[in-house]
Structure 1
Amino acid sequence: MNAPNGILVVDKPADWTSHDVVARVRRVANTRKVGHAGTLDPMATGILVLGLGPSTRLLTYLVGADKEYLATIRLGASTTTDDAEGESLGWAPAERVRAITPARQADAIAHLTGEIDQVPSSVSAIKVDGKRAYARARAGEQVELKSRRVTVSEFEVLGTRGATGPDGEAAVDVDVRVACSSGTYVRALARDVGVALLTGGHLTALRRTRVGPFTLTDAHALDDLDVASALVRPATAASAIFPVLALTQAQAQDLGHGKKIEVDAPDAETAAAVAPDGRLVGLAAVRNGGARTIVNFPVPTEASGPSAEPSAGPNTEQES
């Protein structure tokens, strides 16, 4: 029996870490070679894309894909983590919260839409001198992260309602939809909206609804997960990300052996090279009528047990 090979889209439940999901899939699929593309915080739910077997090689290309989220921002208080899991840094006066008008709210969000310079949360997974920022912050160190350029292509308000803090403090909950580039922190958007409105703000709910071409309709619950039927074939996954380069049998053999081949196809920085039998031969660069291999995808080996090689796939930063 061949080892599992493909992309698995999971609907991560709340209070699970991304590592918890990987560990579950390893056990269910009976393979150690499992990686994921883009960490979700434990409080977040939604799409977590995993790669099994040789398809872990595709994860590098999915890490950089655009994402979409549904989130709730609570205006009225900031926290140490920019979300509900952190300690409160104090509540704004009730009159300041009541002064939030739809126009002011829209203006704050407009200034956080498009290409922006964003300072990630101090409890992000970004490395500072070789150590994760969240580890330094939780150890009591002062963490100052540099801003970086991200793109928030859509920042839409879906609804607004009054709310209260744990001791009756005045607050406003804003439900939003955010489409953004990889590396954007929705927690930081919540924080910065609160800064702009002089009320403080933090995230109370987050659900990732899209990663690149994959949406919640592609996602599977962890309960009673049938990996074999849920796996997206490597060629299908790669074809959803890149233009397809359809190969003849001879071309597939040559490209699989690392040879440059002649093709009748438009130029593409990266293309999914697919054999006549539907197998993903690899990813290829196409230029001036020629194609060369970027990454090969070998035929998967026999199913592996607990002693197989460790998980493959990128070690990614949190994006929430």
Structure 2
Amino acid sequence: MDINKLKDKKTTEELLEFGIINIDKPSGPTSFDVSDFVRKKANLRKTSHFGTLDPNVTGVLPIALNRACKLTGFFLGENKEYVGIMRLHEEIDVKKLQEIINKKFMGKIMQKPPVKSRVKRVEREREIMSFEILEKDENGKDYLFRAEVQGGTYIRKLIDDLGKELGIGAHMLELRRVRAGIFDEKSIVNVYDYEKALDEYNNGNDKKLRSIIIPGEIISSLYPVVNVNTEFVKKLYTGSPLFIKNLDKKYNINGGRCCVFSGDKFIGVYSVINSKEVFAMPEFVLQPIK
């Protein structure tokens, strides 16, 4: 699915109705504050963000617009990547520190959410794909790191647990999210440029605003795409299962999810079951605007 070609066919109003803006969250406001700023500035009905960042954390914060808010749950579990600075309470050799990280804090780990977390504080399994020490500061206690983790992993808690494992204590000084699933710093826009783009849009120039909105159909980057014959689309809008006979061809997809299109029209996200007659069941259907 060529998202750029699909985007070119949409009006700016259609993009605002079913789109995503990848905001560069500044330090200070909460993720909700930033999401709400996006909503109010564009006079949208609602917005939602894909994964909460603490107030003092910066970086990638994808924000769904209007009907794209229904996609939030599909993006939340995607891997996240961070760059940050942690302070160890005593100096330690970088090589030794990396060895301990590789031994104790890589792969699947058990993690309990921080005390201030809004979720229930029970241990959960999380996966650490990479946790690399990049360099040590001249003071000997501050360490620059990069980490790729499963969605829902608390970096601040990861560093705190590392300090306990070392027996010397550690805490996070700075943190920036550089990737959240398919969203990274290449498509990021700061709140000032977003505000400027909207001001220009309200004055008749939508070029900048169009350039920063990602169509909601980007969800098709996560799952395989299947195409349904046009004559069956109306039935899908009523919540009907996607029958094998309604597909334009045979698809070899076993389980998981798929994105359903009819040509370049996005229908929704479906759960593949591959029974004798039913190919998939709807999880989210994008109803046509009446």
TM range (shorter): 0.7 to 0.9
- d(CA) in 1 for partners of 2:123, 2:159: 16
Cα offset, 1:228, TM superposition: 4.1
In structure 2, the residue corresponding to 1:42 is in which secondary structure? Answer: coil
Residue aligning to 1:230: 212
1:246 to 200, 217, 227: 227
Assess if the C-alpha contact under 8 Å between 1:11 and 1:48 holds in 2.
Answer: yes
In structure 2, the residue corresponding to 1:223 is in which secondary structure? Answer: helix
Residue identity opposite 2:88 in structure 1 = L
Cα offset, 1:279, TM superposition: 2.4
- d(CA) in 2 for partners of 1:13, 1:281: 35
Residue aligning to 2:43: 30
Cα offset, 1:103, TM superposition: 3.4
2:56 to 39, 43, 46: 43
Cα offset, 1:300, TM superposition: 4.3
2:270 to 284, 291, 303: 284
In structure 1, the residue corresponding to 2:138 is in which secondary structure? Answer: strand
Cα offset, 1:274, TM superposition: 1.4
Assess if the C-alpha contact under 8 Å between 1:53 and 1:300 holds in 2.
Answer: no
- What pairs up with 1:156-235 in 2 under 5 angstroms? 156-163=132-139, 172-225=141-194, 226=197, 227-235=209-217
Assess if the C-alpha contact under 8 Å between 2:48 and 2:64 holds in 1.
Answer: yes
Assess if the C-alpha contact under 8 Å between 1:74 and 1:204 holds in 2.
Answer: yes
Q: How many residues align?
A: 254
Where is the helix percentage greater, Structure 1 or Structure 2? 2
1:17 partnered with 2:8: no
Residue identity opposite 1:204 in structure 2 = L
1:297 to 274, 286, 289: 286
Assess if the C-alpha contact under 8 Å between 1:9 and 1:214 holds in 2.
Answer: yes
1:116 partnered with 2:105: no
Cα offset, 1:272, TM superposition: 0.9
Residue aligning to 1:266: 252
In structure 2, runs of 5+ residues without a counterpart are 1-12, 198-208
In structure 1, the residue corresponding to 2:127 is in which secondary structure? Answer: strand
Assess if the C-alpha contact under 8 Å between 1:54 and 1:300 holds in 2.
Answer: no
- What pairs up with 1:121-136 in 2 under 5 angstroms? 121-127=114-120
Assess if the C-alpha contact under 8 Å between 1:4 and 1:228 holds in 2.
Answer: no
1:8 partnered with 2:8: no
Cα deviation, 1:72-93, whole Å, max 9, x if unaligned, reads 11111xxxxxxxxxxxxxxxxx
Give aligned-pair identity as a percent. Answer: 28
In structure 2, the residue corresponding to 1:162 is in which secondary structure? Answer: coil
TM-score (norm 2): 0.81
- d(CA) in 2 for partners of 1:224, 1:4: 20
In structure 1, the residue corresponding to 2:141 is in which secondary structure? Answer: strand
- d(CA) in 2 for partners of 1:243, 1:298: 20
Query: Does 1 or 2 have the higher relative contact order (CA < 8 Å, sep 6+)?
Result: 1
- What pairs up with 1:87-106 in 2 under 5 angstroms? 97-98=90-91, 100-106=92-98
- d(CA) in 1 for partners of 2:182, 2:137: 32
1:147 partnered with 2:123: yes
Residue identity opposite 2:93 in structure 1 = T
Kindly report the root-mean-square deviation, in angstroms, between the aligned alpha carbons of the 2 structures: 1.9
103-112 vs 208-217, greater mean Cα deviation: 103-112
Q: Hey, which bits of structure 1, 4+ residues long, moved more than 3 A?
A: 226-229
Residue identity opposite 2:213 in structure 1 = L
